[in-house]
Homo-oligomer: A and B are copies of this chain.
């Protein structure tokens, strides 16, 4: 939670953190419109006016939570190393994304919900920061392909595919749990999923 601390007073630091944590849970479950300030306040253990003392509008809470989680999600992407071994770099990236889906599914769902509804709060961010970052990494992948170290695939679609697959396990969790045989959803489940994805994806892009 990036912007929760380093605030004016001690109490503000603490309470903003509590609020943002509660808000992430609520917003990711019910969406922006479906969540109420009362709900968040209750989960945060404070009165509604008190919560509004820290974040004057519902939207302020939402945007703050969203921005905080965006960074979490982009960090592994930033760390793809142009100097590393292509297959190994992508393996690391996919594994990290899967770990995130396992450990922070709420963040993934919050983000998915925002995009699904037209990204009203982060359209700008997508078109500038995110686009720049993706263009850069797509360039790296393209270079790898030119050097014959990856099969010739469209780098953008490869990136989308990795995002889609890894985040699916957080976003569509309910569906997956409904379908999979009960005993499959055990602690090692995410490891199995990661292995399967890696097997298919990496074999799909190894130079041939």
Residues of A within 8 A of B (CB): 29-34, 109, 112-113, 115-119, 123, 126-127, 130-131, 134-135, 151, 153-154, 156-158, 160-161, 163-165, 167-169, 171-172, 174-176, 178-180, 184, 192-193, 196-197, 199-205, 208
Contacts and interface: CB of A to CB of B under 8 A. Distances in A.
A31 B109 CA distance: 14
Contacts of A134: 179
A25 to B, nearest CB: 13
Contacts of A180: 156
B158 A123 contact: no
Contact of A203 (B34, B168, B203): B203
A196 B158 contact: yes
23 contacts: A31-B31, A31-B117, A32-B34, A33-B33, A112-B171, A115-B171, A115-B174, A116-B116, A116-B172, A118-B174, A119-B175, A126-B174, A130-B179, A156-B184, A158-B196, A160-B165, A160-B168, A161-B165, A161-B197, A163-B168, A163-B172, A165-B165, A202-B204
